[in-house]
Structures are given as C-alpha cells and as structure tokens.
Amino acid sequence: MQKAWQNFKANVPLRRTVVLAIIICVLYLSRSMMNTILLTFIFTYLIVHLVNLVKKHLPKLPSQVVVVATYLLLIALIYLGVTIYIPIISHQTVKMVHSVVEFYQNNDWDWIMKSVHHYVSNAELANQAKKGMGIVFHAVTGFGTLTVSIVMSLLLSFFYTIDLKDLHKFSQAFVNTGILKWFFQDVTYFGKKFVNTFGVVLEAQFLIAICNTVLTLIGLIVLHIPQILALGIIVFVLSLIPVAGVIISLIPLGIVSYTVGGIQYVFYIFIMIMIIHAIESYVLNPKLMASKTELPIFYTFVCLLVGEHFLGIWGLIVAVPIFTFLLDILGIKPVKTKKRIHLEKTGKLFK
C-alpha cells in the first residue's frame, strides 16, 4: 500500500489528473457561488496588474497606497453610476422600448397582431400571468443576488491585494511543507496555468469589448440614434462574448435603427457592425490577445453553446478562456504568452 502511494505521488501526469478532477468537483459543488468566484478572480486579476503597472513606474510608492486609492476610486465610480447614470440608462431603456412598441403599433403589422391575438386567445391567461410574475420575481432576486456577489467580490479582492506579500508567504507554507505538499504544488501549477490563460484572455476580451463599444457609439452618434447610453451597455455586454457578440448586437441595434430611419438605417448599422467585426478580427485580436487563442470559428461556437448550457450567461463569457486553459494543460495548444512569443522569436524556446 505504501509503495502504491509513493508510485502515485511519483507519477506526475496521473497525480495532476486526479488533482484537476478534485478541483472541478469542488467548483461544481460551489456552482451556486460561481458569480462571486468569477468576479473575485476578475477584480483581483485586474487590480494586481494595475498595482504592478504603477509600481513599475513608481517603485517607491507602497502597494497598499495604490490598492486603497484604486478601491476608493472604484467606489466613487460605483456611487456615481448608481446615483446618476443608472437612472439615466433606465430611463433611456424604458423610452427606447416605448418608442419601438409605439413605432410598430403605428405601422401596418396586421400579421404580427393576428399571431399575438391567436396566441393570447388560445392560452390560459392565468398561467401566462403567473409565468410573467415569476420572470419578474426571478429578475428582481437575480439582481439582488448579483449585487451581493459584486460587494463580496470587491471585499475579497481588496483583502487579497492589500496584503499580497504576507498572503503569498503564508500560502507558500502549504507548498513547501506538510504531507500534502504535492497536492498544493499541483494546485499551484494549475493556478499559474489558469492565470496565464483564463486571466489574460479574459482581460484582452474586456479591452476588445471596450474598443467595440466606443466604435459602435461613435457610429450611433453619427447616425443620430437616440438612447445611446442604453445601447452602449447592451453592446458592451454582448461584446464580452467572443466572435458572436458583435454579430448578436445587430439584433437590438437593427430594431432601434429601423424605428429611426427604416431599412436604410438597418443597412447602415449592418455595414458598421461588419466594419467593427473586421477591425476586431484583423486588428484588435492580433494586438490585444497576447495569449491569442487562434481557435477555429466552429470550436468557438461549440464552446459558447456548451458554456451557456452549463454556466448560463457566464458560460458565454468564460467558455473560450476555459477551453483554452484545458488545451494548454493537455499540451494540445500551449497559450502564447508575451514571454513565450519573445522566446519563439529569439529562438530560445527550444534550447
């Protein structure tokens, strides 16, 4: 028995497979906390990178000062968003929906109205009302749960980054000592791989989403489309979905633009989205994706479908980074980090 245990610890591929299976099981059992886990990782990753960037230019500035200043600025932005911009965006969203409904009511859409009338007249109105109330209830409770998750994630990421050095020293004790140090060594291995793939790809996708949103808002301003703040939020959220997000944004943009300028404006929006998609594919992805996934379109869409099935909305955002992480640890397609790209160019990678 002792020899079998020693052989298991010496067999690194088998050992790491077991450790990865344990991590997946723990995450599956913690799926109700997935919002908090993912948001904590995202906030921590971005704040740590910001601290490192500031320390690079101002090495004498204490890290705690940078962390506290960053979170104070973040809290101020959240306060401004809640008190000023969220009411504006909510008003614009309601106004946008009202204008779209009013437009279609004032035009000849008899076939749609007949279909709606047929559906309503043959359905149980009580059940439909119950379903509608259920949707509203889930939306309200979901918003409250998301708010709690954001607050908890900010607190956890703050405590992590404010005491980063001591936390690292304490964590090293698990890796260097104890009968389970091999387990924590493998967890550390997967943690580093996860940060180098998931974190970098997700960061790049955020930057791409910001660029797509700015370009889209410029086009909407040129076309004099109303309620651009509400549309900007929609475009930003959809742009977090790799490849498909920009194309999906055609639906809300096309509906609103049709109410403003008819089929001509829909054509303008289509051309604009295609240009932005081309910029994302041929300019933003090569420049911003330091760990470029280079996945075929088919695999990307399969990842999105599977991710949405198991993780819901989060799956659309994190499916591709998770798949990239799995490809990396399996050795099928190592992620091209900046360091790896430099070693490949200089010919030192295989020496």
Q: For each of the chain's 351 residues, which pLDDT tens digit applies?
A: 778 888 888 888 889 899 999 998 998 888 788 888 888 888 888 888 888 888 888 888 888 888 888 889 888 888 877 787 677 767 767 777 777 667 666 665 555 555 555 555 555 445 554 554 454 445 445 556 777 888 898 899 999 888 888 888 888 888 887 788 888 989 999 988 888 777 777 777 888 888 888 988 898 888 888 778 778 888 888 888 776 777 778 888 888 887 777 788 888 888 988 888 788 777 776 666 544 556 777 887 888 888 878 777 777 778 888 888 888 888 777 665 555 544 444 444 434
* Residue found by looking up tokens 């109330």 in the block: 133
Q: What is the pLDDT of residues 214-243, one digit of tens each?
A: 988 898 888 888 778 778 888 888 888 776
Q: Are the CB atoms for 211 and 276 separated by under 8 Å?
A: no
Distance CA(127)–CA(195), nearest Å, equals: 47
Distance CA(348)–CA(327), nearest Å, equals: 23
Q: Are the CB atoms for 256 and 101 separated by under 8 Å?
A: no
- Give, in order, the Cα–Cα distances in Å from 53 to each of 56, 57, 196, 280, 330: 5, 7, 17, 25, 31
The packing angle between helices 164-176 and 125-162, to 10°, is: 90
Write out the two tokens for 347.
Answer: 């010919």
Distance CA(91)–CA(104), nearest Å, equals: 20
CB atoms within 10 A of CB 11: 12
What pLDDT does 343 receive?
A: 43
Nearest to 64 by CA among 209, 134, 164, 131: 164
Does this model's pTM top 0.85? My answer is no
Q: How far is CA 181 from the centre of its chain?
A: 33
Q: What is the pLDDT of residues 109-128, one digit of tens each?
A: 555 555 555 555 555 445 55
| 312 φ/ψ sector (left φ>0, alpha ψ -120 to 50, else beta) | left
Nearest to 226 by CA among 97, 34, 83: 97
DSSP 271-306: HHHHHHHHHIIIIIHHHH-TT-----HHHHHHHHHH
SS (H, E, C) 249-263: CHHHHHHHHHHHHCH
CA dihedral over 7, 9, 10, 16, signed as positive or negative = positive
Q: What percent of the chain has pLDDT over 70?
A: 78
